[in-house]
Structure 1
């Protein structure tokens, strides 16, 4: 059992999250179906090694996903052996859900189950997707409370997931762009110094004589950093091979 496999991508669907009041568009978010969550748990853990449970906590439905862990014992040869049995420990992760517009209690339980599964890593990849936008037959108004999604030809879309997966959206969902790593001043100076040393190596053949003191003066001038004797000796050895 490799629990890291629970984080892999699985089929997902789309639903409208909200309608615009100013233009003919709607925002959509991706979600996973509870049956696909169960299928992944069966595949990675084995049907007999996971279970779910539900509790009422202060009027809120909490769903839990429990996964049985390996128990380590000593084998006949003294080596560690891992096995599942009645003494194996169950690890639980819990979360609460929100009601759906249809069958509220059932929807809340299903949402709680999926949110608990997210804590195991299932469907976490969805958080890397941006909210997408699709065209509708009009903005949300008091007289038009239920806009519907349309394609580029203005025809009503009955299967939103198929429509989205065919690329028919005004703003495709794409992975979020990671922010560039923050480089400290010390790291920047070190990088600049390495570049200067490389450049110096390239012009070494044009310098008749390059002494130890020349090296020290060059580094100090280029970077305002003073290396120790060992580092200077290392740089000189590098230059000798040119």
Structure 2
């Protein structure tokens, strides 16, 4: 029989663990310093468990703890029960959740060659990044390579926008253009001004799609490396698409193309 998790109750806002948790919740890059990530809310926690991930610490509000499902508590080797006022204080949500997990974070993740990848080139809006992660996971892309200048991909805002997609993806942060060269799959970029229309293109699989900065697009270095340049037809006449919307269209097109070849 597995040992019962250790349970610690905390009521002081000056407690060292509470201070660490507050930083994880409210500082978008604190996870890089602490080597751990805060998942707030049962949706993210259940998504992590569904992928077989094991939390380091399970955290419950005092009022929720007596009714917390056993499997949520037993997933971690340590349990912290926080006074409701403390949980509300550390929360970054308008309506604080009742539980969360502290997970380990791998700062040394390296690029894996040969798999379908999305390259984020200085995509700065957390909502856009999270949305792109969801599309990547949905359409069979197994890896995210985020170049320096991209929003912190394990920040609270990106985690919430990703809705659990993080846990099905291999994530590499603070990458360089040199890292992209090690992917060993064709690089595909979007351009609003040139390139083959996506509905007419023969898309490679696996491949790496590069999604660029909201205002500047994909940088010149990646443009020069690209084997394919793709544009999206916009008969409505808009100048450009939001990067997350463009990513969804492109990744879906790749997925459909791959399935058609297999079928």
TM class by shorter-chain length? Answer: under 0.3
| Larger Cα-atom Rg | 1
Q: TM-score, normalised by structure 2?
A: 0.24
TM-score by length of 1: 0.25
